[in-house]
Structure 1
Amino acid sequence: MPPSCARNTSTSLEAFSRSPGGMLTKTRGAVLLTMCAGMFLVQLDVTVVNVALPTIGARLHTGLATQQWIVDGYAVVLASLLLSGGAIGDVLGHRRIVLAGFTVFGLASAGCALAPSGAVLVGFRVVQGFGAALLLPGTLAVITAVYPERREQARALGIWAGVSALALAGGPLLGGLLITASGWRLLFWINVPLVAVAVLACLRIVPAGTRTSRRIDFAGAATAAISLAALVFAVIQGALPAVAVALAAAVAFVWVERRGADPMLPPELVRSRQFAGANLVAGAMNFVGLGTILVLTLYFQEVLGYSPLHGALLLLPGFVPLSLMAPVTGRLVGKYGPRPLMLAGLVLGVLALLNLLRAGPGTGYLTVLPTWFCLGLGMGLLTAAVVAAAVDGVPADRGGVASGVNNTARQACGAIGVAAFGVITGEPADHAAFVSGLHTVGLLGAALWMVAIAITAGTVR
């Protein structure tokens, strides 16, 4: 490595963030872009594969169960290891863990692209989820360290949240285009050069964080991972024994954390009302938001009769404000704080969800358009604000675990919301029953977000 690179990589995050001069702004912008690229790839691979499942099943001769695990193998591992990935980054330095996450994610993507069978593809998707769990919390921790001043940090988090929303929106559309152009394997090959560029950027511009004297809480990491994995597995598969495993592991996690000399989840975070409140709201946001995306997708295609591509295009009126508002929200959070933006987004979402009561088997797209547009707008106001509220006031050396908790709340609750709303609406073949379930989803979602309004008012500064 050239001497200049060695000097860059030996600089601590704190010193880097306080360096003066015009070059700082450009370099920090490049760091933000690199971290956003990592988060974009992680989020994109949550949704981009869905549209390819029928093609993968036909080419690899796999059944429905294997196709489900091509998606769920990634989702379960990602949700269960986010907290551990953030905590390990706090101890070893987030640059190291981000680089490790990029490397594992890139190699696993190549393995997915070369997979000769469904079982091998599922295995590499699990490894890909492991890399993503290392990468995602580290991207947020690096950003908050490089932008320590509140207003700048809020703006950077708004950009980060906007890119996250763009990945969610772009996944199905990009997947459809790539499959049409070159087949399903390109969905994974495209990650490899992007990861290579990101790794080189990390080595050149992302400063090495200082290692701490704390030890890795292996017992806490293991019990947390088992509990979260069992919970998400139980929801996805409807396996009641997994619920018992999740509860037992959660009890073990609490016991380990109380007795540990250096717990992964420190007491100051557990006692913070704002940290707890912001993460509860983040979980409610994804529970309702991702669950609603699922049922609206089914409603457009199975009840109203639109094609898959047409149905994906009909979701754009909600995805566009979700993507565009997040950076704007970041600036507003920097000026006014997170609470007003969170309250505005939640109120808008409650009104949007209640509009679902107007939907019927033949009412048409325009009836539910206000629901999806206003829900996307509300989530655009919420996303950057809940992240800012969660990390605000957290000690700098705990940024990774704070990010891990926030991302875990959103990923796990999102997976649970998708499963729960799918159960409530049932099979869309029975249009009348499905629409009745859609009304229930609207009432439940509105009630949850009203609770989130109370939590926000009572806990967030």
Structure 2
Amino acid sequence: MTGSPATLLRRAVGPARHEGSPRTVLLVMCTGYFLVLLDVTVVNVALPGIGADLGTDVGGLQWVVDGYALALAALMLTSGTAGDLYGHRRVVLWGLAVFGAGSLVCGLAPGVGVLVAARVVQGVGAALLLPGTLAIISRAFPDDAGRARAIGVWAGIGSLALPAGPLLGGALVDGLGWRAIFLVNVPIVLVALVWAAAIVRESGRERARRLDVPGVLLAGLLLSATTYAFIEGGRAGAGAPQVLAAVALAVLAVPALAVVERRRGDAAMLPVALLRRPVFDAANVVAGIMNLGTLGTLFVLMLFLQSVQHRSALLAGAVVIPLFAPLAVIAPFGGRITSRIGSRLPAAAGLLMAVVGLALLALAAPHSSYLVLLPAFLLWGTGMGFLTPAVVAAAISSVPAERAGLASAMNNTARQTGGAIGIAVAGAVAGQPSGGAQFIRGFHAVALGAAGLYALGAVLALVMLPGELFPGGER
């Protein structure tokens, strides 16, 4: 096969040569999800190395992580709708290509500005990719029980990236430098792109609606201004002119977004009809709390392990394996439990386990032994293993099947928005790792704050999430 990359991609998005079995389709889609999560954990391990090489502070490192998260959150809803309109297979294939291109530029970036811009490109690719994987899985497994089990597998295989990321990232950073953590994505993307093009059948398309470009722009403005306010507030103080300007933009964007979305009706990026479903809203709020606490605490934790406890990147990656491994092992089991008893109890139990684990991190000190950290990691990770498939299944099962792409996109948007804000807040609270005792106090405050939010999430799950899954979005 010859031709330019664009020509090759246009050929790839043509009809699949044959349709794979549901299990094969599930595995291919999990590969895409794996890439997205691998990039999150790999980057966290590499942050101290990036900061030292490119000469940037904690604020710059926050943008390296949040540039990806913001693009992912801002475009997730539109990409879900794009999949409904133009076919999820086509959008997933383009997502893989854009993600791979962004990864290549990240690996070659000469400075932090180019790196952040390339991370935004990666986020665009991830936004195209992520909701489509879940929508394709939902179509391959049409019954609720089978879908819930498949979502558990999706969460479990995708979550293998979480324990793999720290080890792979640590080995790459210590052996080849931080740039290798991005370049390693390129061959994986190529394999996944060819594989998906060969065996995934295109979904049906809806031509009546249009993409909500004004909604995308206003949502992006709201998320970016909010994140900028937190990050720059930590750098320059809450009263700095640029911080106040960002707050003003965020405040103005809220009513503007509400007016635009109300006028667009069913074509809106945030359809009012879906937002009137209490279970759907509750599942998305819990998903946002989950990532706000997890990614915010993880950002500060990796700085603590490397910059305060002076561990190498590889050793820091090995240290957090007990945090991520339970998520990969338990998530499929949690999916089966959800298919039998509903989302309420698995979500609440997972949140409460994570509350205890996060609270235990407040005992960590610069010279603490690993035995102090291990129980916190195990409880935190085990809780996430039960929680993740429960909130995803609750969100998707609460809407009509034909809106699965949009529902998965909205749930992931809630998670990525929470994660972006969590990283911004955590960095602002903790400050520079060189701050000594002040950084440690900030680290403890971040962990305890996340524990408090998880406790509120557990109450919401017990009150609002369903005790059983229900077909066709009946609630």
- Please say whether Structure 1 and Structure 2 have the same fold, judged by a TM-score greater than 0.5: yes
Partner of 2:348: 343
Give the C-alpha shift of residue 355 in structure 1: 3.0
* Counterpart for residue 319 of structure 1: 324
The alpha-carbon deviation at position 424 of structure 1 amounts to 3.1
Distance 1:356 1:159, change over 3 A: same
Q: CA deviation at 1:273?
A: 0.7
- Distance change >3 Å, CA 55–CA 320, structure 1 → 2: closer
The change in CA–CA distance for 1:237 and 1:89 in structure 2 (over 3 A counts) is: farther
Shift of 1:9: 4.4
Match of 1:411 among 416, 420, 425: 416
Aligned equivalents of 2:111 and 2:311: distance in 1? 32
Match for residue 292 of structure 1? 297
Matches within 5 A, 1:251-400: 251-261=255-265, 262-360=267-365, 362-400=367-405
1:205 maps to 2:199: yes
With the length of structure 1 as denominator, give the TM-score of the two structures.
0.86
- How far does the alpha carbon of each residue in 1:328-372 deviate from its partner, in whole angstroms, 9 at most, with x for none? 111111111111101111221223333345445555332332222
Calculate the aligned-residue CA RMSD, in Å.
2.9
Change in 2 beyond 3 A, CA 1:301/1:217? closer
Q: Summarize the Cα distance change of 1:74–1:337 in structure 2 as closer, same or farther, 3 Å threshold.
A: same
Q: Deviations over 1:310-343 (max 9, x none)?
A: 2322211121112211111111111111111011
Do the aligned residues in 2 keep the contact of 1:223 with 1:252 (CA within 8 Å)?
A: yes
1:141 is aligned to 135
SS of residue paired to 2:270: coil
Answer yes or no: is the 8 Å Cα contact 1:232–1:412 preserved in 2.
no
Partners of 1:449 and 1:223 lie apart in 2 by 29
Q: Tell me what 1:166 maps to.
A: 160
CA positional deviation for 1:53:
5.2
Q: Please state if 1:246 is matched with 2:250.
A: yes
CA deviation string 1:210-267 (max 9, x = no partner): 1112222222222222222322333333334223222322221211111114222223
Change (3 A) 1:375 1:69: closer
Contact 1:318 1:376 in 2 (8 A): yes
Given residue 364 of structure 1, which amino acid in structure 2 is its aligned partner?
S
Report the more deviating stretch, 273-282 or 442-451. 442-451
Q: Any gaps of 5 or more consecutive residues in structure 2?
A: 2-11, 234-242, 467-475
Task: Tell me the distance in 2 between the aligned counterparts of 1:131 and 1:374.
Answer: 33
CA, structure 1 residues 254+425, in 2 after alignment: closer, same or farther (shift >3 Å)?
same
Correspondence list, 1:122-201, <5 A: 122-201=116-195
Aligned to 1:446: 451
Residue of structure 1 in register with 2:82 after alignment = 88
What secondary structure is seen at the aligned counterpart in 2 of 1:46?
helix
**8 A contact 1:85–1:137 mirrored in 2:** yes
Per the normalisation by structure 2, the TM-score is 0.84
TM-superposed deviation, 1:122: 3.7
Q: Secondary structure at the match of 1:260?
A: helix
CA distance in structure 2 between the aligned counterparts of 1:260 and 1:113, rounded to whole angstroms: 40
Shift of 1:407: 1.1
Report the CA distance between 1:175 and its aligned residue: 2.0
Residues in 1 aligned to 2:105 and 2:301: alpha-carbon distance in whole angstroms:
33
Residues 435 and 103 of structure 1: CA distance in aligned 2, closer, same or farther (over 3 Å): closer
Shift of 1:202: 2.2
Q: 1:237 to 1:79 in 2, by over 3 A?
A: farther
- The percent of aligned pairs where both chains have the same amino acid is 48
Distance 1:440 1:126, change over 3 A: closer
Q: Secondary structure at the match of 2:160?
A: helix
Residue correspondences, number? 444
CA contact (8 A) 1:10 1:208 kept: no
Q: 1:216 aligns with which of 197, 211, 216?
A: 211
C-alpha change, 1:364 and 1:193, in structure 2 (3 Å) is: closer
Which segment is superposed worse, 230-239 or 248-257? 230-239
Aligned ranges 1:8-157 → 2 under 5 Å: 9=16, 27-52=21-46, 63-64=56-57, 69-115=63-109, 118-157=112-151
Letter in 2 for 1:277: A
Is the 2:92–2:128 Cα contact (8 Å) retained in structure 1? yes
User: Do the aligned partners of 1:302 and 1:428 also contact (CA within 8 Å) in 2?
Assistant: yes
Question: Is the contact between residue 179 and residue 187 of structure 1 (CA under 8 Å) also seen in structure 2?
Answer: yes
**Residues 357, 6 of structure 1: alpha-carbon distance in 2 compared, 3 angstrom cutoff:** closer
Amino acid at match of 2:75: L
8 Å Cα contact 2:103-2:183 kept in structure 1: yes
